[in-house]
């Protein structure tokens, strides 16, 4: 069977739960099985319970023999920006510089992470993302044992932005993602990321969003930051006092149907 016609599984792993969905490929893809499992024992820095739950799910042969897209909670991800430099022409040079930036912020802990750098756009910074290497290796091992072909393994903010970037109405705006007690946000100027942060937040995530906007305006000389496009679960949309008239909640139901999007809809409570 062609890899293009294999079933596709999307899975999200976070400290509060895991979400999985299997899409049967074809002219009209359809979901054949899905599961949303909450975790009471999960903590922000501990990915062990989520991996154990993922392992238990994979004991069911209905999850075997497919392509796999894994989305990892921002609770275990780290972000930064790599400034544009014409002297960093090779990928290896850019990756080494990205590791130095993470090391200055996080110390020796950064040596335990696998680092990725987005494509370089001349004149613009690149997004640096990092995940625990031990977590990645364990997930690859689990997937291989179930004949799952890993076609994507990325942190939540990167996946969400890539899904929505073509649907953002303004070239200069905030993209905000709220989940697992975290607010992760990118500031986009003319379609390019020039700011990125991830912070702990309460149910009223709008407080942190307002603080982030204020800091941005102070740092940039009160320049307009643009509207806030928010990917937020339905249960949290009424729990914010954010009064920004330019706040736009993204409708997850408008995403195209593949396994990763199906997982996003389940997480958002749109299904």
Tell me the CATH class for 3-75+131-155. alpha beta
User: What pTM, to 2 d.p., does this model score?
Assistant: 0.90
Q: What is the pLDDT along the chain (271 residues), one digit of tens a residue?
A: 445 578 999 999 999 899 999 988 766 778 889 898 888 866 667 999 999 999 999 999 999 999 999 999 999 999 999 999 888 778 899 999 999 999 999 999 999 999 999 987 888 899 999 999 999 999 999 999 999 999 999 999 999 998 888 888 788 899 999 987 899 999 998 888 999 999 998 778 888 888 888 888 888 766 667 889 999 888 777 767 666 667 888 876 665 556 666 676 666 654 4
Per DSSP, the three-state class of 19 is strand
Q: Are strands 148-155 and 66-72 parallel, antiparallel or unpaired?
A: parallel
Q: Please tell me the predicted confidence (pLDDT) of residue 250.
A: 86
Q: How many CA atoms lie within 13 A of 110 on its CB side?
A: 21
What's the CATH fold of domain 158-268?
A: Nucleotidyltransferase; domain 5 (3.30.420)
Q: Please tell me the predicted confidence (pLDDT) of residue 259.
A: 66
Integer Cα distance of 124 and 262 in angstroms: 32
Q: Please tell me the predicted confidence (pLDDT) of residue 271.
A: 44
Q: Please tell me the predicted confidence (pLDDT) of residue 1.
A: 45
Q: Which strand (E) or helix (H) includes residue 18? A: strand 17-24
Q: Please tell me the predicted confidence (pLDDT) of residue 153.
A: 96
In the chain, helix, strand, coil percent, each to 5? 35, 35, 30
Sign of CA dihedral 224, 225, 228, 229: positive
Integer Cα distance of 114 and 134 in angstroms: 9
If phi > 0 it is left, if psi is from -120 to 50 it is alpha, else beta; for residue 49 that is alpha
Q: Which strand (E) or helix (H) includes residue 41? A: none
């Amino acid at each position: 069977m062609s890899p293009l016609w294999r079933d596709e599984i999307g899975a999200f792993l976070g400290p509060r739960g895991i979400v999985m969905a299997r899409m049967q490929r074809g002219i009209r893809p359809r979901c054949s099985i899905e599961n949303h499992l909450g975790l009471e024992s999960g903590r922000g820095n501990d990915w062990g319970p989520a991996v154990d739950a993922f392992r238990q799910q994979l004991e069911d042969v209905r999850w075997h023999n497919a392509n796999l897209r894994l989305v990892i909670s921002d609770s275990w991800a780290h972000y930064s920006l790599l400034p544009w430099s014409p002297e960093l022409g090779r990928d290896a040079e850019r990756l080494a510089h990205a590791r130095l930036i993470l090391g200055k912020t996080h110390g020796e802990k950064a040596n335990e992470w696998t680092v990725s750098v987005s494509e370089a756009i001349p004149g613009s910074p690149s997004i640096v993302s990092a995940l625990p290497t031990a977590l990645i290796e364990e997930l690859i091992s689990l997937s291989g044992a179930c004949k799952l072909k890993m076609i994507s393994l990325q942190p939540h903010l990167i996946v969400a932005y890539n899904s929505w970037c073509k649907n953002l109405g303004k070239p200069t705006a905030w993209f905000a993602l709220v989940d697992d007690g975290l607010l992760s946000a990118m500031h986009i100027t003319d379609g390019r990321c020039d700011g990125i942060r991830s912070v702990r937040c309460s149910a009223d995530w709008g407080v942190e969003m307002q603080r982030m906007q204020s800091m941005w305006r102070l740092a940039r000389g009160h320049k307009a930051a643009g509207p806030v496009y928010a990917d937020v679960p339905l249960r949290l949309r009424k729990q914010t006092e954010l009064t920004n008239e330019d706040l736009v909640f993204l409708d997850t139901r408008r995403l195209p149907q593949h396994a990763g999007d199906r997982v996003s809809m389940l997480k958002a409570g749109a299904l």
